[in-house]
Amino acid sequence: MTRPQRDDEFRLEIADLAFGGIGVGRHDGFVVFVPDTAPGDVVDVRVRRARRRFADADLLEVVQAGPDRIDAPCPYVPRCGGCRLQHVDYPRQAEAKQAQIAEHLARIGHLPDVEVRPIDHALERFGYRNKMEYSAAPDDTGEFTLGFHQRGRWDRVIGLDACLLATPAGNAVRDHVRAWGRREGIAAYDQREQAGFFRHLVVREGVRSGELLVTVVTAPGGDDVVDSLARELMGEIDGIVGVLHAINDGVAETTQGLPTRIVVGRDWFTERVLDVSLRLSAPSFFQTNTVMTEVLYGRVAEAAGLDGGQVVFDLFAGVGSIGIALGRQAKAVVAIEIIPEAVEDARRNAEANGLVNHRALCGDVGKIMREHREELPRPDVVIVDPPRGGLSGRAVRRVLEVAAPTLVYVSCQPATFADNAARFIEGGYRLDWVQPVDMFPNTPHVEAVARFTMQAGA
């Protein structure tokens, strides 16, 4: 096996898709990763970076397209950093995501024999995102534009005429704000120069309710400018229930944790999932695909197996949607979430849905479970829905300490799930099955629901 060197050019066949939607092939036995390729492609590539065990290469030409390659419907592929799999036929996308979960369990968790069920396919391939975050930047002519960062570039934004993953409302708000910015001569923030005013536009949508919540993120100042935009949006676009103004005076490109004021309307919107009505505040997390969230929650209900007699812990609960959706089949639900606004949403949501058996606590999961262990009931079912980083070591220990007969894990990152799964098995659980759910078609991301059962005598 000969290791290629930087700038080497050669031809290879793509055998599979690795995590992240990147094609993988072998050159003289050496593993080579190539973005923008599909299984079966024969491609010419140039090595960008050579490491000890693998190389990263850039695609020069598709010599022969594989059977799974299609023409990406979006004109911004592959420049845009959002979609990595539009050029791959959907069934092959889904198959790759399912295989990647199994591969991570085997390689990271050392769990090669786990039952990974056939993936639940997305019900909508496009127009499914209920949350859009657009970055502002001057375009090549200096005009105000809104879009997404170019792949691999922190300092360049691709202006969009339409995003195929956004809903019509998500596209309409962006188009209106872009037209306003150009008409009013608004200075878009230039990340390289660290100068300008308008930084981000965030659009959140209740797909079932038709309500929209818009957040404008700017550099300090310009309240009167944003006030004028807010009034215009409220008057021109149906469904907007509130416009917020957040101030980012730092270097980091973020829309989270910023000082925020209500300009017009309110700072929350409503959504409906299954038979549950939800209030969602601006900072609160909610899945970005409403339709597939219902499929996901159905799988959680299957894994939990509630019959009305169980106490449920809903950890990393967000606005309480999972616990509330299952609450009528439970004896009691205890939700724990670290974001105060989300906890308040969870309490309001439980009340609005008539659940008197629901309690929401605010704080770090591991800390709350330790501090309240004497007063909390012993759970029969624990549901965890952590962020991409997975459960911390402390959170894993707290879950193992309560030793619930059933543990349901909702994963959004196969690698951290595999690591956590191995820790739970070491602690006495058996991993019964894993159900992948494709919440994010045309992107590399995948959700999964896993059921663990505490083994007798553990």
Please list the active-site residues: 412
Q: Which helix (H) or strand (E) holds 405?
A: none
Q: For the CA atoms of the chain, what is the radius of gyration?
A: 24
Joined together, the tokens standing for residue 412 give 């959004």
Q: Which helix (H) or strand (E) holds 265?
A: strand 260-265
Q: Which helix (H) or strand (E) holds 234?
A: helix 223-236
Looking up tokens 């965030």 gives 202
CA 289 vs. chain centroid, Å, equals: 9
Alpha helices (H) in 305-435, listed in sequence order: 321-326, 340-352, 365-371, 393-402, 414-426
Beta bridge partners of 276: 273
3-state helix, strand, coil in the chain (%, to 5): 25, 35, 40
Tell me if 328 sits within 8 A of 355, measured CB to CB. Answer: yes
What angle separates helix 168-184 from helix 223-236, to the nearest 10 degrees? 140
Buried b (16+ CB within 10 A) or exposed e, 155-188: ebbbbbeebbbbbebbbbbbebbbebbeeeebbb
Distance CA 348, CA 350 (A): 6
Among the listed residues 158, 101, 168, 99, the one whose alpha carbon sits nearest the alpha carbon of residue 130: 168
- Decide: helix, strand or coil at residue 394: helix
Tell me if 125 sits within 8 A of 133, measured CB to CB. Answer: no
